[in-house]
Amino acid sequence: MQIGMVGLGKMGGNMAERLRRAGHDVIGYDRHPENSDVAGLDELVQRLQAPRVVWVMVPAGDPTRATIDQLCEALSPGDIVVDGGNSHYRDDKKHADQLGSRGIGFVDVGVSGGVWGLQNGYALMVGGDAEHVDRLMPIFQSLKPEGEDGYVHAGTVGAGHFAKMVHNGIEYGIMQAFAEGWELLEATDIVTDVPGAFKSWRTGTVIRSWLLDLLVRALDQDPDLSELKGYAEDSGEGRWTVQAAVDHAVPLPAITAALYARFSSRQEDSPAMKMVAALRNQFGGHAVASAEGQRTKGADAPGADVTPPVEAQH
């Protein structure tokens, strides 16, 4: 199948490569010319055979809106635009209506897999009309992990991004619990092998998970996390999850507390936030702040020393 990919960063670039390895014809565009197959979106559209599919993997907000505005003018009836970024689910309806007025389909996809996705596949949460989703199934089948799970047509337009938003909210809570447990173990004189305690939990316990594996990996690299500053960003989905909970009158005390903990990390050097920062760097290659306060680039996916299970990917 032929597809255009807009945005070839850590996620988009690896997704394009996974699709190529599966035999798909991928034409990529990125604002960095060295990563791009074409000079611009207009050339990308011209290179694609109708009916076209264009997958957008650019930052949420204005960059996504500007890209969809341009594609709305360049594409033709019968084409489909896929928003695979972390857009707010409320924006999806606007984009679907905008493109639909020109006869262009729209599908929103929450994508999870981080820097490990090229090797292990991406969990996909899809929203959109069945006719559009069905056309894209060869792409989804190539991107998802092997096996039965890792893909869901979650509902109508907006459902994919809503499901991914809640996924990331849950992730906030799990990481915060691990981080607080690590801080408490570090604070006591009774436990003298904190990394060993976490390693012991990787087998046979009810909290074993890919995040626990990544936590152990982070401690192997920096046993007391002294190389990190206790500062953790939030990329938006946690805030949106809490706001959606307010809108629907659904109590989310754990997720809300985890979001507020990230806010507090920016006021002082929080030991627990060192672990949250380390985990975000491990699973998503997100940038971290060193103990000296310098921002460093996110890590690329390592070889295969920690392989996430299909059911637990970011």
Between CA 131 and CA 135 the distance in angstroms is 7
For residue 268, indicate whether it is catalytic.
no
For residue 171, indicate whether it is catalytic.
yes
214: Cβ contacts below 8 Å, ≥ 6 apart = 279, 282, 283, 306
The answer to whether 83 touches 127, Cβ cutoff 8 Å, is: no
Question: Sign (positive/negative) of CA torsion 59, 64, 67, 71?
Answer: positive
Between CA 193 and CA 249 the distance in angstroms is 43
The answer to whether 18 touches 120, Cβ cutoff 8 Å, is: no
Q: Per the residue annotation, which of 171, 183, 229, 274 is the catalytic one?
A: 171
Q: Return the amino acid letter for 19.
A: L
Q: Per the residue annotation, which of 10, 144, 164, 229 is the catalytic one?
A: 164
Between CA 217 and CA 220 the distance in angstroms is 5
Identify the CA nearest to 121 among candidates 21, 7, 9. 21
Identify the CA nearest to 12 among candidates 31, 23, 2. 31
The residues annotated as belonging to the active site are 164, 171
